[in-house]
């Protein structure tokens, strides 16, 4: 909210990152326009395109919270709560498809939907949202003209794409040859991260590291749902039209927990959620799709328990080893 107010009063005038600057540890960005990024930033921080004129994109993706919001689940107009945790938008260009269930293939597909989702911005139509943005002095100081839907979409996509953040301590060690960039404890944590199989889902690639495999994995939450109840939920989910998914996911937790299944209707995707990137994860508590885990230490322990259950081979680490993995994840915080 502080960053939003600074923008509205004219204090913030430059993008949050130098446009098209290489980011150590990340793939090259596709070229984007400085002007588009600045316009997208103005739109991103504008609360005008919300039903109560209080919610902006930055309400759930606050730069002071690593472009997440620090809450268990998203909070939209009139304080209405969604069902899922707001992920960081840092490096969103490299974590497509988007959303916990992957229902949006690209940023371009996603950026306009929050305006008309009832528990997010709550506008009645995209046209209403565009009209509100065109009446916002902060947006118009940058735009200098009435915007259409494609221009808003393009600008928001450019701004979010510009939020590439690399140059972490891990990147400096791995990709710049700075052996001393990680502490001995962090290096030990990285070895344990690999040894325990965490890297299978939070993957690195040749020459860069997104720390996600882009895949969907069962979260074990469904194990507490009675079989008959689950069958009823699946039957209901099969009736959902794709155009209604945003409203279902944000308003019905009993269906949102079905995860990727809501998108694919594939039984193998029941309860599966997308692997989040671990970049800046130390700054984006609470964790998991429902924000149910408050600390990184607890999240590591929970993930190790899940992996033990999946493989049938218990993973036993002592407290110091757990802390070493936590310290390693802290080394993934962006340096710029």
Show binding-site residues for heme c.
57, 60-61, 198, 201-202
Please tell me the total number of residues recorded for the chain in this structure: 336
Sign of CA dihedral 132, 134, 136, 142: positive
Task: Kindly state the tokens that stand for 148.
Answer: 């259409």
Cα 139 to Cα 152: distance, rounded to the nearest angstrom:
11
Cα 153 to Cα 61: distance, rounded to the nearest angstrom:
17
Cα 221 to Cα 30: distance, rounded to the nearest angstrom:
38
Find the Cα–Cα–Cα–Cα dihedral 62, 135, 75, 90, rounded to 10°: -30
Helices (H) and strands (E) in the chain, counts: 17, 2
Nearest-5° Cα angle at 294, 292 to 296: 115
Instruction: List the one residue out of 284, 233, 292 whose CA is nearest residue 258.
Output: 233
Please provide residue 264's backbone torsions phi and psi, each rounded to the nearest 5 degrees: -100, -25
**Beta strands, E only, 106-230:** 216-218
Task: Kindly state the tokens that stand for 226.
Answer: 């009675």
Cα 41 to Cα 33: distance, rounded to the nearest angstrom:
12
Strand partners for 218: 272
H-run or E-run covering 254: helix 253-256
Cα 253 to Cα 256: distance, rounded to the nearest angstrom:
5
Q: What SS3 state is found at 290?
A: coil
Instruction: List the one residue out of 265, 261, 255, 253 whose CA is nearest residue 290.
Output: 253
Binding residues: 57, 60-61, 198, 201-202
């Amino acid at each position: 909210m502080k960053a939003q107010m600074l923008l509205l009063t004219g204090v913030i005038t430059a993008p949050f990152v130098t446009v098209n600057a290489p980011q150590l540890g990340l793939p090259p960005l596709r070229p984007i326009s400085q002007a588009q990024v600045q316009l997208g930033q103005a739109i991103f921080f504008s609360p005008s395109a919300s039903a109560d004129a209080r919610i902006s994109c930055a309400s759930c993706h606050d730069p002071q919270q690593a472009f997440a919001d620090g809450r268990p689940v998203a909070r939209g107009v009139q304080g209405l709560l969604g069902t899922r945790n707001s992920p960081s938008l840092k490096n969103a260009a490299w974590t497509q498809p988007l959303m916990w269930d992957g229902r949006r293939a690209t940023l371009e597909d996603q950026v306009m939907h929050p305006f008309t989702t009832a528990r997010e911005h709550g506008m009645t139509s995209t046209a209403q949202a565009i009209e509100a943005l065109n009446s916002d002095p902060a947006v118009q100081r940058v735009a200098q003209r009435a915007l259409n839907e494609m221009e808003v979409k393009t600008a928001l996509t450019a701004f979010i794409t510009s939020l590439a953040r690399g140059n972490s301590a891990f990147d400096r060690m791995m990709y710049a040859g700075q052996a001393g960039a990680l502490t001995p404890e962090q290096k030990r944590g990285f070895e344990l991260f690999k040894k325990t199989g965490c890297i299978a889902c939070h993957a690195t690639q040749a020459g860069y590291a997104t720390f996600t495999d882009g895949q969907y994995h069962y979260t074990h939450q469904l194990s507490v749902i009675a079989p008959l109840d689950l069958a009823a939920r699946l039957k209901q989910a099969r009736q959902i039209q794709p155009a209604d998914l945003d409203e279902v996911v944000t308003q019905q937790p009993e269906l949102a927990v079905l995860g990727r299944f809501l998108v694919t209707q594939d039984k193998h995707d029941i309860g599966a959620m997308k692997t989040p990137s671990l970049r800046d994860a130390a700054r984006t508590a609470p964790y998991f799709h429902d924000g149910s885990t408050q600390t990184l230490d607890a999240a590591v322990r929970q993930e190790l328990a899940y992996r033990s259950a999946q493989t049938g081979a218990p993973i036993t680490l002592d407290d110091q080893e757990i802390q070493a993995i936590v310290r390693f994840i802290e080394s993934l915080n962006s340096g710029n």
